[in-house]
Amino acid sequence: MCEKKIHDGLQDVLACKSSICRIEMIDGKAILEYRGYDIHELAQHSTFEEVAYLLLFGELPTKSELEAFSEELKELRELPPQIIGLLTHLSPFSHPMVVLRTAISYLGTMDKHIHHKSHEKSLQKAKSLIAKFPTIVAYFHRIRSGQNLVHPSDELSHAANFLYMLHGVEPTKTEAKAMDLDLVLHADHELNASTFAARIAASTLADIYACVVAATGTLMGPLHGGAAQKVMEMLREIAVPWRAEEYVKMKLERGERIMGFGHRVYRGVVDPRTIELRALAEKLAKEKEPKWFEISRAVEEAVYKYKGLFPNVDFYSASVYANLGIPDDLFINIFAISRISGWTAHIIEQYENNRLIRPRAFYVGEAGRKYVPIDQRGD
């Protein structure tokens, strides 16, 4: 064991084969593809429903396949009354990500075929989870803020329907498009921590709900999906663009991390999603509140100046969500609403080409100690 190299944080370790998401650095530029399709093209032309289909089935849908898939999702949106009951019983002060993972677990108790892992059954469960995530998040938010539930609309897309259920009014075209684009950009990202957690659980042949709970819990951490909420806290603290440089300098001098910057894979290169999200944040800023985007730009410049780091996917998401009227503590949930499509695609891939994931640790503790009976250990 001693001579073997320890891959701290599993950096650059290839842990499995996958045909879902490709990240490659070519000529100093990052390429990101879902199932071989470039993220910029998907951002420009596709919808979340199309991308979810692509991730799950491996191919872009035909028009009729997309219609059927979208209809299926619509039919699966409503929650069983037991889940609504659960949402009303949970503390309104719980973090909505804790609520989401609790609701997923509860959904598992209601699935009579929880352990079935055939391709067809797993796809069915995946579609149900993708369809229900926005409803869980929107219902909990309305319950905790004492508002009536807004039931899913059959007329609206996945993204537009989420905003409708959350706010109780139909979003404008710009808002619906912005939400949809954000969901497209967050849908998958290879072996990020939450997807890896899902795959580890899947590799034990645990049920899909257990895998998704593992992923949801992992996404919540501030070094992963939790960063977007922290970014918003930072933007609020900075409050005006001219304070950004001084704030960043002070944080870096104290050895603190700036949330929404740095990435395990995109080192010294721009995350392609940032380009799309920055443009989206700018577009919304022109039509709505410009402040968050202006502060974000100033932070981006300062972090590059003092640390040479680029923003990651969580950074501009914050100002996009703020301008869509989404409360700060729902930011991670929005990530999950999108990423459930990637998680389930990876879980299915793991089930179908499985080997238990079980690395080793390099032991650094004491060895071969002699057991001392408790009455001989002193006080």
Ligand X SMILES: O=C([O-])CC(=O)C(=O)O
Binding segment for ligand ACO (CB under 6 A), chosen from 22-30, 49-57, 259-267, 368-376, is 259-267
Q: What is the footprint of ligand ACO within residues 40-79 (CB under 6 A)?
A: none
Q: What is the footprint of ligand ACO within residues 297-336 (CB under 6 A)?
A: 307, 309, 312-314
- Considering CB distances under 5 to 8 angstroms, the limit depending on partner class, which of ligand X, ligand ACO, none binds residue 283? none
Which of 22, 40, 257, 283 touches ligand ACO (CB under 6 A)? 257
Other C-beta atoms closer than 10 Å to the C-beta of 302 total: 20
With vertex at residue 38, the alpha carbon angle to CA 131 and CA 135, rounded to the nearest 5 degrees, is 15
Shortest spacing between CB 189 and ligand X, in angstroms: 3
Q: Per CB under 6 A, does 227 bind ligand ACO? A: yes
Q: Per CB under 6 A, does 249 bind ligand ACO? A: no
Catalytic member of 158, 189, 263, 346: 263
DSSP assignment, residue 243?
Answer: G
Q: Per CB under 6 A, does 15 bind ligand X? A: no
Shortest spacing between CB 255 and ligand ACO, in angstroms: 8
Task: Determine phi and psi for 125, rounding to 5 degrees.
Answer: -65, -40
Contact (Cβ atoms closer than 8 angstroms) between residue 294 and residue 235: no
DSSP string across 88-141: HHS-TTS-HHHHHHHHHHHHHHT-TTTT---HHHHHHHHHHHHHHHHHHHHHHH
Q: Per CB under 6 A, does 129 bind ligand ACO? A: no
Other C-beta atoms closer than 10 Å to the C-beta of 229 total: 26
Residue 107 or 212 with smaller CB distance to ligand ACO: 212
Site string (304-343) toward ligand X, x via CB under 6 A: --------xx------------------------------
H helices within 118-226, ranges in order? 119-144, 158-167, 173-186, 193-203, 208-219
Contact (Cβ atoms closer than 8 angstroms) between residue 81 and residue 110: no
Q: Per CB under 6 A, does 264 bind ligand ACO? A: yes
Shortest spacing between CB 214 and ligand ACO, in angstroms: 16
Residue 66 or 265 with smaller CB distance to ligand X: 265
Exposure letters 334-369 (e unless 16+ CB within 10 A, then b): bbbbbbbbbbbbbbbbbbeeeeeeeeeeeeeeeeee
Contact residues toward ligand X (CB under 6 A) are 189, 192, 264-265, 312-313
- Active-site residue numbers? 263, 314
Contact residues toward ligand ACO (CB under 6 A) are 9, 192, 223-225, 227, 257-264, 307, 309, 312-314
